[in-house]
């Protein structure tokens, strides 16, 4: 039985590259980047605040003590009305793959990420509030690795609704 695989021929050298092998491009790291579709809790005309996101990821289980592990940092940006309102990062620890034929099991974990924006007066921060706007999107960036972002939920509170017009 044959095993098919896709290979690229290099444009700048005489190398033949296996596609889908590992998580770097011939030694150069790359960044995975995904931006979710917008959600509009109050509809296209209303506003809401977005204090937190619960992000589900699937990855190899975290290492036990003294075990070698890989470290992957995910950067999560709350994009409200097409503007990056807040940024949060978290790190996923992956158990190292000692034996490719017997990789560690993968699990889904949910991470809570709080978002806040400062309330500034004359360069003085007077308080922090959750991002507020109409549409919310999540932009996730992380280095090529065995970490899948499965989506999640955005916490919101509607603060402005369409008021009926009374004559």
Residues that bind another protein (CB under 8 A): 1-26, 28-41, 44, 53-54, 58, 135, 137-140, 142-158
DSSP track, 53-100: EEEEEEEEPPP-TT--EEEEEEEEEEEETTEEEEEEEEEEEEE--S-T
Per the CB < 8 A criterion, the answer to whether 88 and 152 are in contact is no
Nearest distance in Å: CB 141, another protein: 9
Nearest distance in Å: CB 124, another protein: 30
Nearest distance in Å: CB 139, another protein: 7
Residue closer to another protein (CB basis): 77 or 95: 77
CB atoms near residue 41 (< 10 Å): 18
Residue closer to another protein (CB basis): 12 or 105: 12
Residue closer to another protein (CB basis): 16 or 101: 16
Nearest distance in Å: CB 39, another protein: 5
Which helix (H) or strand (E) is 133 found in, with range?
strand 132-133
Residue closer to another protein (CB basis): 37 or 167: 37
């Amino acid at each position: 039985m044959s095993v098919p695989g896709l290979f690229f021929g290099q444009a700048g050298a005489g190398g033949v590259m296996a596609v889908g092998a590992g998580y770097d491009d011939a030694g150069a790291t790359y960044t995975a980047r995904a931006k979710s579709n917008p959600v509009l809790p109050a509809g296209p005309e209303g506003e809401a605040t977005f204090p937190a996101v619960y992000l589900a990821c699937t990855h190899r289980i975290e290492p036990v003590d003294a075990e070698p592990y890989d470290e992957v940092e995910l950067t999560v940006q709350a994009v409200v009305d097409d503007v990056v309102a807040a940024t949060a990062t978290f790190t996923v620890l992956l158990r190292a793959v000692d034996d490719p034929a017997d990789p560690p099991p993968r699990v889904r974990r949910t991470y809570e990420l709080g978002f806040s924006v400062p309330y500034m007066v004359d360069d003085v921060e007077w308080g922090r509030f959750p991002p507020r706007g109409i549409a919310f999107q999540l932009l996730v960036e992380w280095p090529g690795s065995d970490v899948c972002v499965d989506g999640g939920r955005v916490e919101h509170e509607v603060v402005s609704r369409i008021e009926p017009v009374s004559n």
